[in-house]
Amino acid sequence: MPTLKPPNKQAVIVLAITIGVLSLLFVTPLQHLWALARSSDLYSHVILIPLVSVYLAWDTNRSQVIEPSRPKRSLALFPIGLGLVSLLAFFLGSENPLNPDQIEDYLAYSIFSYTCFIIAAIFLLFGVKTIQSQIFAILFLLLITPFPVAVREGIQVFFQHTSAEVAYWGIKLIGVPIFRTDLIFEMPTISMEVAPQCSGLRSSLVLFITSLVASFLFLKSPWKRAIFVSLFIPIGILRNAIRITVLAWQCYYIDPAMIDGWFHRQGGQPLFAVTLIPVFIVLWLFRRSESKAAGV
């Protein structure tokens, strides 16, 4: 297998020094990001993102031959501009950024700026062809950025309402009498509310990141990659709806006390594992079709 010569050692050293300096400048938000990643299930993936990004860059480097090229330093203007705008928006919009209620917004702005400046440094130091070959691994770093509160809540509301809609029809399908008022399901034995915690945001985010990496590693067609990654939306909705439907079935046919049972508290993990099955099937079918098209 042809391999790429090691990248310019001087550029790598300068990049490492630049990241070190940026990390010192952003040490406070990085400390809070570390604390958030350790305390929040939603952001536990943040610790792994840089490691995965480095691995993807290394894997691309060892499997491709990339011709030497000069940096196009004007490319760095865009991430630098984004980073500065993000910092400006943060300083103009935050009165007490370290308030626990605003910590996600604080980190969303500051960590996004930090990542943009790292990307700008990469654009400044490495050739255009190297950047083109590594662009996925480079942009993957952006996933260390937490959601702004408004964005997180908006995604939760989307999955909350769509899951409730699908679950409502699923509950009717299994024969449970139900009267619905928005997110509240009233049944003969119990009333249930599809709360924000039922949105399955963490599982959907993990599925999204997993699909991104898998599509990059195993698929070549841009449209197949896009379809494959977008599957996290219907699968996330269906997974949440199944969980709500099964819980309603248990409470109606077995015991209303099961609303506080094992399935409600821990059923999300086995359901997530089950929903990986159709994801892998689609990946296998897409990969097989690409192999046939390539005559492999």
Quickly count: other Cβ atoms within 10 Å of residue 108's Cβ. Answer: 23
Buried residues in 6-25 as b, exposed as e (16+ CB within 10 A): ebeeebeeebeebbeebeee
Q: What percent of the chain has pLDDT over 90?
A: 50
Task: Delimit the domains of the chain by residue range.
Answer: 9-146, 151-293
Q: Which pLDDT tens digit goes with each residue over 93-107?
A: 665 656 656 788 889
What pLDDT is attached to residue 258? Answer: 82
CA atoms within 13 A on the CB side of 192: 32
Q: Mean of the per-residue pLDDT values for the chain?
A: 87
Among 209, 192, 202, which Cα is nearest to 156's?
202
What pLDDT is attached to residue 63? Answer: 63
Q: Is 60 exceeded by the pLDDT of residue 282?
A: yes
Q: Which pLDDT tens digit goes with each residue over 132-168?
A: 889 999 999 999 999 998 999 999 999 999 999 999 9
* H or E stretch covering 1: none
CA atoms within 13 A on the CB side of 269: 4
